[in-house]
Amino acid sequence: MITLTAAAHSKVKEIMDKENKSDWSLRMGVRGGGCSGLNYVLGFDNNVSDTDEVFEQDGVKLVCDMKSYLYLNGTEIDFTDGLHGTGFVFNNPNAQKSCGCGQSFSA
């Protein structure tokens, strides 16, 4: 399962409403690259495949392709807005090593 903290959920809903995508899904995945080997990918998508893992949390539908889900199962997405930067933070129990920016990892 992939979950959103209250702060991340609030920010996702805010962006979805602002971009008129309230009926779309938040898609999470991974791609090769970055300092540690795999990059996190987040974006809005209005297509859900039969092979996607789908989670719904308080009106936000989160989808993930099966290949990425192997690396992301158990991940919690948070949102921070502080002195060290603003953005989504990924708390991934499968990450063996992460880069300093937190946007890439190795598993």
pLDDT at 83 over 90: no
Residue 89 pLDDT > 80: yes
String of DSSP letters for 24-79: SEEEEEEEEETTTEEEEEEEEES---TTSEEEEETTEEEEE-HHHHHHHTT-EEEE
Q: Which long-range contacts (CB under 8 A, 24 or more apart) does 84-91 make?
A: 88/8, 88/11, 88/42, 90/40
Mean pLDDT of 12-19: 96
CATH of the domain at 48: 2.60.300.12
Global pTM reads 0.84
What is the mean pLDDT of the segment spanning 54-69? Answer: 95
- pLDDT mean across residues, the chain: 87
106 - beta bridge partners?
A: 97
Range of the domain at 41: 3-106
> E strand or H helix at 87, and its extent?
strand 85-91
What pLDDT, on the 0 to 100 scale, is given for residue 4?
97
pLDDT > 70? residue 25: yes
Question: How many domains are contained in the chain?
Answer: 1
